[in-house]
Structure 1
Amino acid sequence: MYTPPAFRDDDRDSIHATIRAARLANFVTATPDGVLATPLPLYLDENEGEHGVLYGHLAKANPQWRTPATGDGLAIFMGPDAYITPSWYATKQETGKVVPTWNYVAVHAYGPVEFFEDPARLLAAVTRLTGIHEGERATPWAVSDAPPDFIQAQLRGIVGIRMPITRLEGKRKMSQNRPEADRANVAAGLAASERPVERAAATLIPS
Structure 2
Amino acid sequence: MDAWRAVRSDSDIQFAPIAQPDPPQTPEWLRALGEFLVDLLGPVARLFVAAWPVLMWVLIAIGVALLVLLIVRIFDIPVLKRRSKASDQAEDALPDRAEAEALLSDADALAAQGRYGEAVRLLLARSIGQIANRRPDLVHPSSTARELSRLDALPDAGRRAFAAIARSVERALFALEDLTERDWTEARAAYADFALERG
TM normalised by structure 1 equals 0.20
Highest RCO, 1 vs 2 (Cα 8 Å, sep ≥ 6): 1
Richer in helix (by share): 2
Richer in strand (by share): 1
